[in-house]
Chain A
Amino acid sequence: MPAASPSARRPGPPATLGAAFRRGLVDSAPFLLVVGPFALLFGVVATEAGLDLAQTMGFSVLVIAGAAQLTALQLMSENAPVIVILASALAVNLRMAMYSASLAPWIGAAPLWQRALAAYLLVDQSYAVSLANYEAEPRWSLPQRMALFLGTVALIAPVWYACTLAGALLGRGIPPALALDFAVPITFISLIAPGLRTLAHVAAALVAVILGLALAGLPYNLGLPLAALAAMATGAEVERQGLARPIRRERVE
């Protein structure tokens, strides 16, 4: 690596792959506060819904996408048709195609097995932390970028598995007074509300709520996909009209 000009202080390449890995580890650590309880909740709710330990862990280890897992679980407990369950849960994950597209310029040249592994581990937190660092450190080499990416999931993924397991083992031991039935809607609201950044997001959410309620009586849970499609189209159209400006000032970190 050629020596950086003396005036260049930051950004600069870290000395080792280990340093890049540790950067990912440290930057992702605060997200454990969300990931841990979310996994715990999934473990408890899945067990209470009647999934056995292997199935509950199968969801968290193989799918590793909490919102989609809870969506599938909720629809399974409503005995929705398989096609509605899969379409709805995968629709929740479609945002990850955007993540994939926006990371591709940075790590798209990595060996196939590394990209396949990174795809498995591409979650909200690893995406956000990695992209922020790639943009801050444009001169990092490909191995450094991959090391950072691995660092972002080195805590989050094991904690995700372990807390799911803990939740599954706790399972029915949770007293009813904790009203965990309602923890699922509350968690979903809490995940969505901070993301209501623009008029387009608010309009999409409003249409989703109104149609979700109005069409709740439709057979085969068809109300959900219909409401979601209409809400997506609403968000996209509001954005196309140029009305997707931020509705409140972003806090400057």
Chain B
Amino acid sequence: MSGWSDAAIWGIIAALALGTWLIRFSFLGLIGGRRLPPWVLRHLRYTPVAVIPALIAPLVVWPRATEGETDPARLLAALAALAVGFGLRSVLGAIGAGMGTLYLLNAVF
């Protein structure tokens, strides 16, 4: 991977592995069954839905494959995945709808 030494990549893998394990072990590791305060729980509930959309929104609007130029096919594909995922509550259905839309539009135009 350009810009990263092998040592740096393994460092990131190791730090991520350890950090993730510590998060998972946190409450299982404690003795006495301590509880999370409600305000912490309230924030934790929204971490995936806060981080992931912020990460991917720029990738959808300014895709790498088109060198940052907004691509109607990719925008529509993203909307299709969102609509099916939200409406049908199906991860696989959403992936199918998104990639299917992209392939269809790329084939037609």
Contact = CB atoms under 8 A, between A and B. Distances in A.
Contact of B23 (A93, A107, A232): A93
Interface string A162-203: 000000000000000101011111111111111110001100
The B interface is mostly helix, strand or loop, or mixed, namely helix
A67 B42 CA distance: 21
B28 A108 contact: yes
Contact of A192 (B3, B52, B59): B52
B47 A104 contact: no
A43 interface: no
B86 A185 contact: no
A129 to B, nearest CB: 16
A42 interface: no
B87 to A, nearest CB: 9
Nearest to B4: A76
Nearest to A207: B50
Contact of A190 (B10, B14, B23, B81): B81
A120 B21 contact: yes
Contacts of B2: 50
B48 A72 contact: no
B19 A90 contact: yes
Contacts of A92: 47-48, 51-52
B28 A115 contact: yes
Interface in A230-246: 230-236, 239-240
A227 to B, nearest CB: 4
B56 A185 contact: yes
Nearest to B93: A190
A5 interface: no
B12 A51 contact: no
Interface residues of A, number: 95
B29 to A, nearest CB: 6
A236 B46 contact: yes
A3 B43 CA distance: 44
Contact of A107 (B28, B51, B88): B28
Interface string B15-44: 111011101111111110101100101111
Contacts of A182: 63, 65, 74, 77, 99, 102
Contact of A55 (B10, B20, B57, B99): B10
B74 to A, nearest CB: 6
A49 to B, nearest CB: 6
A95 B16 contact: no
Contact of B60 (A65, A74, A76, A185): A185
A186 B46 contact: no
A114 B13 CA distance: 24
B51 A193 contact: no
Contact of B24 (A33, A59, A99, A188): A99
Interface in A67-97: 67-69, 71-72, 74-77, 79, 82, 85-86, 88-97
Contacts of B55: 71, 74-75, 88, 188, 212, 224
Contact of A193 (B8, B57, B85): B85
9 contacts: A51-B1, A62-B13, A67-B48, A100-B26, A186-B77, A186-B78, A196-B86, A205-B50, A216-B57
Given A108-B27, A212-B57, A234-B50, 10 more contacts: A34-B91, A92-B47, A99-B24, A100-B28, A115-B28, A190-B95, A191-B48, A192-B49, A193-B84, A209-B54
